[in-house]
Amino acid sequence: MAIYEQFKHKCAEEVAVQGADPVLGRASREWINLANARKYSYHFEWLGRPIIQYPQDILAMQELIWLVQPDLIIETGIAHGGSLIFSASMLELNAFCGGPQNAEVLGVDIDIRAHNRVAIEAHPLSRRVSMIQGSSISPEITAQVKAKAAGKKSVLVCLDSNHTHEHVLAELEAYAPLTSVGNYCVVFDTLIEDMSAEMFPDRPWGPGNSPKTAVWEYLKTHVEFEIDKGMQHKLLITVAPDGYLKRVR
């Protein structure tokens, strides 16, 4: 085995042990609970745009985008545009390194605020970004996204909009099939299922009604996807436990 493969093999063994470590698991969950109460995930930027993610998940997405070399990334949930600009920047780097030259990211949001749209469209990487305003599960919007995905070779999907079970399940039904075999459909904020209901006093979602329950429901009838447990065991601190879905067939 080449040295790199040996190293990766050793890492995989270490990650499995790490993922099964109950003390580290409890400490990570406790840290997440404390950090979430401080709105930790709201305080980061990517190339000048606020990105509502944990740094660990941003690094995970970098690994995936390099691995799968998408020519299209579909994202639901734009907010300030940080995740769109992040994806655009990764696609730019892939292109610079000889990957797909015309890869792009398509964002969908029910409410693209004017100031966010202006800033995203003025960004140096905006040529790789397009946006659609509307509910991600409305038939007119899903039709537009499907049209954009037609003919693409490697499609990566990220779901990060309304976090109720019903909405995420509808998003999975609409968008997960666009994921190319070998690529990923990433469902963010599955973490909600593992938190206390008091964390979401003014939200329609919470434990029992979350992206994670939607993932579990979807996977009952979609054997073409498997949860990449290795990713969450590696990250430990992630908003997407059971949310990194790999399309295996």
Ligand X SMILES: C[S@@+](CC[C@H](N)C(=O)[O-])C[C@H]1O[C@@H](n2cnc3c(N)ncnc32)[C@H](O)[C@@H]1O
Report the C-alpha gap between 97 and 129 in whole angstroms: 19
- Least separation in angstroms between residue 71's CB and ligand X is 20
- For the bound state, the minimum distance from the C-beta of residue 163 to ligand X, rounded and expressed in Å, comes to 8
Nearer to ligand X, 21 or 44 (CB): 44
- In the complex with ligand X, the residue whose CB is nearer, 15 or 206, is 206
Q: How far apart are CB 165 and ligand X at their closest, in Å?
A: 13
- Using CB atoms within 10 Å of the CB of residue 222, give its burial: 0 to 12 exposed, 13 to 18 middle, 19+ buried: middle
CA distance 249 to 246: 9
187-to-2, 65, 141, 192 alpha-carbon distances in Å: 34, 15, 19, 12
Give the nearer residue to ligand X in terms of CB position, either 15 or 128.
Answer: 128
Best CA proximity match to 110, nearest among 125, 129, 132, 93: 132
71 conformational bin, left if phi > 0, alpha if psi -120 to 50, beta if neither: alpha
Please state the closest distance from residue 126 (CB atom) to ligand X, in A. 16
Chain contacts with ligand X (rule: CB under 6 A):
51-53, 76-80, 82-83, 108-111, 135-136, 160-162
Distance in angstroms (rounded) separating the CA atoms of residues 193 and 211: 8
The least CB distance from residue 58 to ligand X, in Å, is 9
Q: Are 93 and 125 in contact (CB under 8 A)?
A: no
- Residue among 15 and 61 whose Cβ is closer to ligand X: 61
State which residue, 51 or 106, has the beta carbon closest to ligand X: 51
The candidate with the shortest Cα–Cα distance to 40, out of 237, 248, 246, 241, is 237
CB of residue 136 to ligand X, shortest distance in Å = 4
d(CA 47, CA 123): 9
Cβ closest to ligand X, residue 167 vs residue 233:
167
**In the complex, minimum distance from the CB of residue 14 to ligand X, in angstroms, rounded to a whole number:** 29
